[in-house]
Structure 1
Amino acid sequence: MAVYQYSGRDRKGEKRSGKLKAADQKEAMAKLREQGIAVLSLEELTSFLYKEIEIKKKRVKPQDFVMYIRQFSTLIQAGISIVEATQILAKQSDNKLLKQALLKVEEKLREGRSFTQAVAEHPKIFPPIFVHLVRAGEVGGNMDDILDRLAVYFEKQYETRNKVKAALTYPIFIGIVSIIVLIFLLTTVVPTFSTMFASLGAELPIVTKMVLTASQFFVTWWWALLLIAGTIVGGLWYFIKKMDGQYYLDYFVLKLPMIGMILRKSVLARMTRTLSSLYASSVPILQSMSIIENVVGNEVYVRALQEVKTSLEKGQSMTKPLQKHWAFPPMVVQMIATGEKTGAMETVLGKVADFYEADVSIATEKLKALLEPVLITFLAGVVGVIVASIALPMFSMFESIQ
C-alpha cells in the first residue's frame, strides 16, 4: 500500500488536505470521492518513512486463493459480470498481494482486455492451470462451469496438502523439541551435578560417565558443533541448488517408509486431478503435460512426465514411459491405458484422483496414530536416561551415608 498526500475541497467548498493509504492512485481517487472531496492535487509520498516494512511474498497463501476462487465462482454463477465480480473481490480481499493483483486485473478489464490476458500478466498470483482453464471458459462460453471446476480443484488440492503437512509436522516438532530438551539438559542441568560428583570422588555408573562426557563435550565444543551443522546445511543447499541435488533428495524422500508412500500418493492425486481438469476443459495434451510439470512439485515425477511428453510428441502412447517407472503403481498405468482406449480420460483420471485423495487421508491418520506413541516414548527415553544418570549416583551416596 502506498501513501498519498492530497488537497481538495469538500461538498461545502472548504479546503481539505491530508494523507491516505491506497493500492494505487486510482484507488486513492475513489476513496476521496467517497468522502465527498473534489481532488485538486494528489501525490504519492516516496520517502522511506512512508514505505511499509514487510517481507515480500512471492505467492498468495493457498487458503486465500481457494477462498477467492470459490467467491469468484459464486458471483459469476449469480449473474454478476467478471468486471464487477473482480471489483467486489478486490475491495473485500484481506490479502494485500491478491488485492493489488485484482485491482490491476480490473483496470485491464475496463481497458477492454480479456480476463485471460489480464490474469496472465500475474503468473505469481494466478497459476498456469487457472489461466488455461479460464481461457477455455472464455472460448467455450461456459465460464461459470469452469470456475466451479477450478474451485473444486483448488479446494481438493488445499485439503490434501494440509493433511500431508499435518502428518509431517508432528514428527518434526517432536524431533526439534527433543533436541532442544537434550541440549538444555546437557549444557545447563548436567554440569551442575558434574561438579558435585567430581568433589565426592566416588565411582560413577557407566551411564553417568557417558552423560557427563557428552555434557562436557557440548559445553566445550558447542561452537564446533554449530560450525559443522552450518557446513552441512550449506553443503546440502549447494548440492540441491547447484548440482542437481533436488532429484536425489526427492528420490530419497519418496523411498522413505510410510512418509514416502504418503508423498507418492499425494503427488499422484495432484497429478491426476490436474490432468482430469485439463482434459475436461479441452486443453491440448502437450500443454497439459507442461502445466503438470509445474504442479507436481517433485523432481522425480517431473522427469518421468518429461519422458511422457516426449513419447506423446512422437505420437506414441502415454502409458509406455509410465510402465517403466517405479513411481507409478500398476493401477494408475492401467487406468490411464483404459482412458486412452475408451476416450474417457477425464472420468478415469477423476476416479484415480478420488481414490488417492481418500487414501492419503487414511494414510496420514494412520501415520499420526503410529508416530505419536513412538515419538513420545523416544522423548521420554532421552529425558529418562539423563535423569537416571544423575539419580543413580545420588542413590549410591544416600546408601553409603546410611
Structure 2
Amino acid sequence: MPKFAYAAIDPEGAPVEGVTKADTIGSARALLVEQNLFPTKIEETKGMLDFELTKEKVKKKELMHFTRQLAVFVKAGIPLTDALVTIGDETEDVALRRALSNLIDDLRNGGLLSVAAAGHPEVFPDYYVGILQSAELTGQLDTALESLAEYLEREIDTRGKVVSALSYPMVVMVMAFGTVLLLAGYVLPQFKPLFEELGAELPLPTRMMLFFSRFFTDLWYVTAIVIAISVAAVMFLFKHPTGKLWKERGVLKVPIIGGIVDYAILERFCRILGAMVQAGVPLPEGLKTTTQATSNIVYRERLEVARDQMLEGRGFSAPLIETELFPGAARQMFKVGEETGTLDKQLETAAIYFDRELESRIKKFTTMFEPVMIVFVGAIVGFVAIALVSAMYGVLGGMKEEAGPAQAPTPVVAVVDVESSGI
C-alpha cells in the first residue's frame, strides 16, 4: 500500500507532520479529515529502491481529460485549489497526481497557475503554459482550457489515424522477416547434413538459402556485428543532433511518407498557433512557443528565421510564405487573416484543411502499401518454398542416378545336340 507524507493542522491550530498509508491520495486526505486534521500538503513517498532517472511524462490523453475537467470546474465558479484537489484525488496517473499536488501547494502559497505549471514540463508543454499565461491576463481561463482540451483531443485523433494506418503494414513486414529468419536460421540448417550426406547437386535457390543460414550458425558473429552496428546507427539517428538532422531531412524526401509528415507538422503548427492567438497570446510569443513545439528540425529552423523577420516588422504572412513550407491554400488563408484581423479563425481553417489532407494522404498510403507488402511477403514465402521443394527434387534425382539404369534380363539360348537327339 502506498505511503503519503502529509502536513496538516490540528483542531488547536498547531502544525502536524507525519506519514500515513492509503490506496490513493484521496483516501489519505479522507483519513486525515476523520482524525480531525486539516491537510495542507500530501504527497506520495518513495522507498530506497523506488527511484527514477528521468521524470515520467504524462500521456496526452490524461492531460486532455484533466484539462476538460478543470475547464468545467472553472466555468462552474469552483476555486482552482478545490478543483485541483478533486481532480487529483480521482486521477490514477501517478506523475499527474504528483504534479497536481505541487500545483495545489504553489497556489495556496499565492502563486499563479501558469507559473506552477511551468515547473512541470513533463506534464504541461510550453504552448500549454503560454496559453495559461495569456488566459490569466485576459480572465478567460475557462475558454482557454476548453480550447486546449479540443486541441489535445484532435491531436490524439490525428496521431491515432497515423498509428492505425501504419500498424497493419508494420505487422505484415515483421511477420515476413520473422518467417524468413525462422526458415533460414532453424528449419533449413536441419536439412543441411542430409544434403551433404547424399552429395546431391542442389539448385541455386537452395544454395542461396544455405549461404544465408550460415550467418545464423557458423558466421553468427557477423550477424551479431551487423545487429550492433544497426542499433548504434539507430541511436545515432535518434539521439545525436547530427543524426537527428539527417533523419528528419531524409524523412521529408521520402515519397508519400514525406507528404504525411509535412501535413502532420503543419496541422499541429496551425492548431497550436490558432489556439494561442485565440487565447490572446502575442503573435511573436505564440510563434516562438509553436516553433519550439515543432518536432522536425528543418521546420523549426525555417520558422525561427520567419519569427526573426516578423520581429523586424515584415508582418506575419510574408515571412511564413518565404519559408516555402506551406501550400498555396494556406498562404492565402494567412494573408486574409492578417489583413482582416481574423487570423485565429484562418489558422483554425488551415488546421482543418491540413487534417483532411493528412487523412487523405494516409488512406492513399495504406491503399498503395498493403498490396506491395502482400506481394513482398508472397515473394519471400514463395522463394523459400521453391528452395526447399527444388532441393528435395534434387536429392531424389541424385539418388536415382546413383542407383543406375535398370538392367534387362539375359536371354537364355538352348543348345541342342543333334547327334544325341537322333535327328
Task: Place the TM-score, normalised by the shorter chain, in its bin.
Answer: 0.7 to 0.9
Deviations 1:64-122 (A, max 9, x none): 11111122222222332222211111000010000111111112222222222222222
Deviations 1:300-337 (A, max 9, x none): 11011111111012111333443344432222223212
Kept in 1, the 8 Å contact 2:21–2:28? The answer is no
| Rounded Cα–Cα distance in structure 2 between residues aligned with 1:148 and 1:113 | 22
- 1:133 alignment partner in structure 2: 131
1:32 aligns with 2:51: no
| Rounded Cα–Cα distance in structure 2 between residues aligned with 1:45 and 1:316 | 53
Kept in 2, the 8 Å contact 1:101–1:122? The answer is yes
- 1:11 alignment partner in structure 2: none
Kept in 2, the 8 Å contact 1:247–1:300? The answer is yes
CA deviation after TM superposition for structure 1 residue 338, in Å: 2.3
Closer, same or farther in 2 for the Cα pair 1:357/1:302, shift >3 Å?
Answer: same
2:199 aligned to 201, 206, 210, which one?
201
Closer, same or farther in 2 for the Cα pair 1:221/1:97, shift >3 Å?
Answer: same
| Rounded Cα–Cα distance in structure 2 between residues aligned with 1:203 and 1:172 | 38
Kept in 2, the 8 Å contact 1:4–1:28? The answer is no
| Rounded Cα–Cα distance in structure 2 between residues aligned with 1:140 and 1:325 | 32
Equivalent residue letter for 1:62: K
- 1:310 alignment partner in structure 2: 308
Deviations 1:159-216 (A, max 9, x none): 1122122223333333333222222211100111222222222222211111111112
Deviations 1:318-373 (A, max 9, x none): 33443344432222223212222222111111111001112222322332233223
TM-score w.r.t. length of structure 1: 0.86
| Rounded Cα–Cα distance in structure 1 between residues aligned with 2:134 and 2:233 | 45
| Rounded Cα–Cα distance in structure 2 between residues aligned with 1:129 and 1:316 | 24
CA deviation after TM superposition for structure 1 residue 292, in Å: 0.9
CA deviation after TM superposition for structure 1 residue 58, in Å: 3.2
Kept in 2, the 8 Å contact 1:186–1:214? The answer is yes
Equivalent residue letter for 1:96: V
SS at structure 1 position matched to 2:144: helix
Kept in 1, the 8 Å contact 2:200–2:398? The answer is no
| Rounded Cα–Cα distance in structure 2 between residues aligned with 1:44 and 1:152 | 31
SS at structure 1 position matched to 2:219: helix
| Rounded Cα–Cα distance in structure 2 between residues aligned with 1:169 and 1:229 | 23
CA deviation after TM superposition for structure 1 residue 45, in Å: 7.7
| Rounded Cα–Cα distance in structure 2 between residues aligned with 1:219 and 1:271 | 51
Task: Single out whichever of 76-85 and 208-217 deviates more from structure 2.
Answer: 76-85
CA deviation after TM superposition for structure 1 residue 253, in Å: 0.6
Question: Structure 2 regions of 5+ residues with no counterpart?
Answer: 7-17, 401-423
SS at structure 1 position matched to 2:21: strand
| Rounded Cα–Cα distance in structure 2 between residues aligned with 1:345 and 1:44 | 45
Kept in 2, the 8 Å contact 1:23–1:100? The answer is no
Closer, same or farther in 2 for the Cα pair 1:23/1:53, shift >3 Å?
Answer: farther
TM-score w.r.t. length of structure 2: 0.82
Deviations 1:25-77 (A, max 9, x none): xx7863432454879xx9998752xx447785531011111111122222222
Superposition CA RMSD, Å: 3.0
| Rounded Cα–Cα distance in structure 2 between residues aligned with 1:43 and 1:148 | 28
| Rounded Cα–Cα distance in structure 2 between residues aligned with 1:322 and 1:316 | 10
Equivalent residue letter for 2:133: R
- 2:409 alignment partner in structure 1: none
| Rounded Cα–Cα distance in structure 2 between residues aligned with 1:243 and 1:72 | 38
- 1:109-258 alignment, distance < 5 Å: 109-238=107-236, 241-242=239-240, 244-258=242-256
| Rounded Cα–Cα distance in structure 2 between residues aligned with 1:4 and 1:114 | 25
| Rounded Cα–Cα distance in structure 2 between residues aligned with 1:44 and 1:73 | 26
1:343 aligned to 338, 341, 357, which one?
341
- 1:261-276 alignment, distance < 5 Å: 261-276=259-274
2:79 aligned to 81, 94, 112, which one?
81
Task: Give the number of the structure whose alpha-carbon radius of gyration is greater.
Answer: 2
Residue identity over aligned pairs, in percent, reads 27
Kept in 1, the 8 Å contact 2:310–2:316? The answer is yes
- 1:375 alignment partner in structure 2: 373
- 1:366 alignment partner in structure 2: 364
| Rounded Cα–Cα distance in structure 2 between residues aligned with 1:30 and 1:156 | 35
| Rounded Cα–Cα distance in structure 2 between residues aligned with 1:85 and 1:276 | 27
SS at structure 2 position matched to 1:327: coil
1:329 aligned to 318, 327, 330, which one?
327
SS at structure 2 position matched to 1:306: helix
- 1:3 alignment partner in structure 2: 3
CA deviation after TM superposition for structure 1 residue 401, in Å: 7.0
SS at structure 1 position matched to 2:313: coil
Kept in 2, the 8 Å contact 1:73–1:144? The answer is yes
CA deviation after TM superposition for structure 1 residue 399, in Å: 6.5
Task: Single out whichever of 369-378 and 90-99 deviates more from structure 2.
Answer: 369-378
| Rounded Cα–Cα distance in structure 2 between residues aligned with 1:288 and 1:344 | 16
Equivalent residue letter for 2:256: M
Equivalent residue letter for 2:120: H
- 1:289 alignment partner in structure 2: 287
SS at structure 2 position matched to 1:315: helix
Closer, same or farther in 2 for the Cα pair 1:393/1:224, shift >3 Å?
Answer: closer
